Amino acid sequence: MAHSHDDHSGHNHVWADDLTKNQGLVLGALTHSDGPLSAYDILDKLRGDGLRAPLQVYRALDKLVERGLAHRLESLNAFVACADEHCHRSGLIAFAICEGCGKVDEFADAVIEERLGDWAGQKGFKVERTTMEIRGRCAECVAA
Ligand SMILES: [Zn+2]
Ligand SMILES: [Zn+2]
């Protein structure tokens, strides 16, 4: 009955079974949150689950960010779960951050990425990651 899963491994999403307990807890907290969470927000939520040290949260966040399962919003010093299973790659990631309700919309845009790539090519700049953070108001907040 030993079926090999190797044939499909290239297509599997990284929604990893191999997360540590802490990584799973932290990812869960981010996934169930409506908005971005700071490391301390996460720690607060997970105290009941046995997480007590900020370092435990930071370590888990580092790994999740490294794997593309979560992203760090530099301008907020906060984290969000990756909204898009296609983006586990080192391309351009853009976030529209609503200053009204705190909602964050994650998207990727191939055209912007291409343009930045052209620019970097011309300048000989080696891009490691690009994160765009757009501040403003979401459609619901504008309408309210
Ligand atoms: Zn993402
Ligand atoms: Zn809003």
State which residues have CB under 5 angstroms from ligand 1, the bound ion. Answer: 82, 84, 87
Instruction: Please tell me the distance between residue 88's alpha carbon and the centre of ligand 1 in angstroms.
Output: 6
Q: What is the pLDDT of residue 10?
A: 39
**If you average pLDDT over every residue of the chain, what do you get?**
85
Instruction: Let me know the angle formed at the C-alpha of 64 by 77 and 91, rounded to the nearest 5 degrees.
Output: 80
Nearest ligand to the C-alpha atom of residue 141: 2
All domains in the chain, ordered by first residue? 19-143 (1.10.10.10)
User: What's the CA gap between 2 and 60, in Å, rounded?
Assistant: 33
**How confident is the model over 67-104, as pLDDT tens digits?**
889 999 999 999 999 987 665 556 788 999 999 999 99
Query: How many Å lie between the centroid of ligand 1 and the Cα of residue 75?
Result: 16
Per-residue pLDDT, averaged over 120-132, amounts to 91
| pLDDT one-digit tens code per residue, 12-40 | 445 556 899 999 999 999 999 989 999 99
Q: How many angstroms separate the alpha carbon of residue 142 from the centre of ligand 2? A: 7
- Residue 93 CA to residue 133 CA, distance in Å, equals 9
Ligand (nearest to CA of 102): 2
